[in-house]
Amino acid sequence: MKADLAWLGAAALLLGACALGPDYRRPALDVPKDYQWQLPQDAAAEFGDRDWWALYRDPMLQRALDIALERNLDVRIAATRIEQARAMLGATRLQYWPQLSLGAQAERSKTSSYTQLLPEQPRLGTIYDASIDASYELDIWGRLRRLNEAARADMLASVYAQRSVVVGLIADVATAYFTLISLDEQLAVTRSTVATRRKFVELTRAKHDRGVVSGLDVSTAEAELATAQANIPDLERQIGQTEDQLSVLLGHNPGPIRRAHHFGDSPPLPPAPPAGLPSSLLERRPDILRAEQQLRAANARVGAAKAALFPTLSLTGSYGGQSLELSKLFSGPANTWLAGAGVTLPLLDAGNSLYQLDLADATKREALLSYEQSVLNALKEVSDALIARQKYVEFQQAQAAKVDALRRANAIALARYQVGYASYFDVINSDRDLFNAQLDLAAAYLNSQLANVRLYQALGGGWRIQEGGRAPGS
């Protein structure tokens, strides 16, 4: 008898070590070792680990990022989803343990007068009952383990989802901040141009009064002044709306935003990132990691659905007391106990279980395709960001040289016009070209800065995120 029990126990342990369904393995994808426009890989690790906003040495930007990481509502909502997933994981893990319940009841009943009773047995009486009941499912086919594996993957997916929110938030804050600086520069250039054109209108009117120029020259100068003046309210509108957008990202009511003014005569070039972009950095992208955890969860649920097709073996037990008198309920003679084992095999519900397996298989295939799509999109974003950063920097450098040349040409044209050696239209054309070039330079500055932001974002953030979604030093 003991040998039989030992054999049954060993068989149960052996079966319990197995779990139906495929074990998860990361899909083999064709990921390139290098990216188009990639530089040498001599500082690759540093590129992915640096706190990118520190490169700009802008305390206002760093302060804005700190506030956003602490107060942004999207980040806080994502954190609550992590808590929800952890609670679900905890509830799933409890299925590993026996389920215990405590029950007590009192029943008063009357026996029919036609029923034959034992001597001294009353027809009207009360029965008191109290018991501790236990049940335990033997996880022979690994159903509970697969469900636990899926719940853990869901929890990790929620963690990576929050990191995606953090990555997007930092990129949005930086984008709005640099947009404000660019708009500030465009507004400063426009106001400076208005002041210059107002003086030129006065000069042209004076020449007209002396009969040197015609009324057409005066009207043209006034039109150019009005053109510049018309830009001011539109730029102020854009600045106000961008400040409102950034305020909401910081978790504040809409209002003004403090910022540093980097622009002098021309905007500085953005800091150059370290060289090198190894393909392994793509594995740090939270959206890819989230998609992989969703695939892992779907794979585990396939195993759980297969296990549901097989019999379920459960152990049950109960211990308590039953008595006609409450005072004797917990006495020795009133003790009761029950022990048993049961097997449940779905028959009429087997068709539903098969459909659930088909559903799990289809969900897994969808998760696999979504994972592959996430990787391809990541590769494209990295390649696009590398190209954009390099070419926008080159464009900004050329545009800065253009502004310098046009500024000199405008000064020469104005000086020649004042002494009568240049025509009025030479001055108008040079002033218009300089104004447009300065506005283009401010836009080029913004594009260069945003190309850096997109590059770091494409690489999974380009910053080290600690537990809780905050960056170091924040």
Whole-number pLDDT of residue 453: 85
Whole-number pLDDT of residue 312: 81
Mean pLDDT, residues 277-302 taken together: 81
The 3-state DSSP class for residue 336 equals: strand
Burial class (CB in 10 A: 0-12, 13-18, 19+), 222: middle
Whole-number pLDDT of residue 265: 39
Mean pLDDT, residues 230-241 taken together: 95
Sign of CA dihedral 244, 246, 251, 252: negative
Is residue 294 over pLDDT 80? yes
Whole-number pLDDT of residue 215: 86
Q: What is the mean pLDDT of the chain?
A: 79
Q: Which of 104, 96, 105, 102 shows the shortest CA–CA distance to 133?
A: 102
- Provide the 10 A C-beta neighbour count for residue 58: 19
Choose between 69 and 9: higher pLDDT: 69
Report whether 180 contacts 55 (CB < 8 A): no
Report whether 368 contacts 317 (CB < 8 A): no
Q: What is the pLDDT of residues 395-411, one digit of tens each?
A: 999 999 999 999 999 88
Non-local CB neighbours of 393 within 8 Å, separated by 6+ positions: 269, 270, 448, 451
Altogether, the residues listed in the chain come to a count of: 474
Residue 315 CA: distances (Å) to CA of 131, 138, 338, 343: 17, 8, 11, 9
Q: Which of 99, 133, 96 shows the shortest CA–CA distance to 339?
A: 133
Specify which residues 6 forms β-bridges with.
none
Nearest-10 crossing angle of helices 143-209, 286-307: 150
CA–CA separation, 272 and 270 (whole Å): 6
Domain ranges of the chain: 20-97+141-310+357-458
CA–CA separation, 363 and 17 (whole Å): 26
Mean pLDDT, residues 18-41 taken together: 70
Q: Which of 127, 121, 92 shows the shortest CA–CA distance to 109?
A: 127
Report whether 27 contacts 375 (CB < 8 A): no
Choose between 434 and 96: higher pLDDT: 434
Choose between 429 and 241: higher pLDDT: 241
Choose between 89 and 244: higher pLDDT: 244
Is residue 361 over pLDDT 80? yes
**CATH topology assigned to domain 20-97+141-310+357-458:** Outer membrane efflux proteins (OEP) (1.20.1600)
**266 band by pLDDT with thresholds 50, 70 and 90:** very low
Burial 301-323 (b: 16+ CB within 10 A, else e): bbbbbbbbbeebbeeebbebbeb
Whole-number pLDDT of residue 304: 87
Choose between 279 and 243: higher pLDDT: 243
Mean pLDDT, residues 175-183 taken together: 91
pLDDT > 70: percent of the chain: 79
CA–CA separation, 450 and 456 (whole Å): 10
- The letter for the amino acid at 110 is K
Sign of CA dihedral 292, 293, 294, 300: positive
- Measured in degrees and rounded to the nearest 5, phi and psi for residue 102 equal -115, 130
Segment among 46-50, 77-81, 241-245 with least mean pLDDT: 46-50
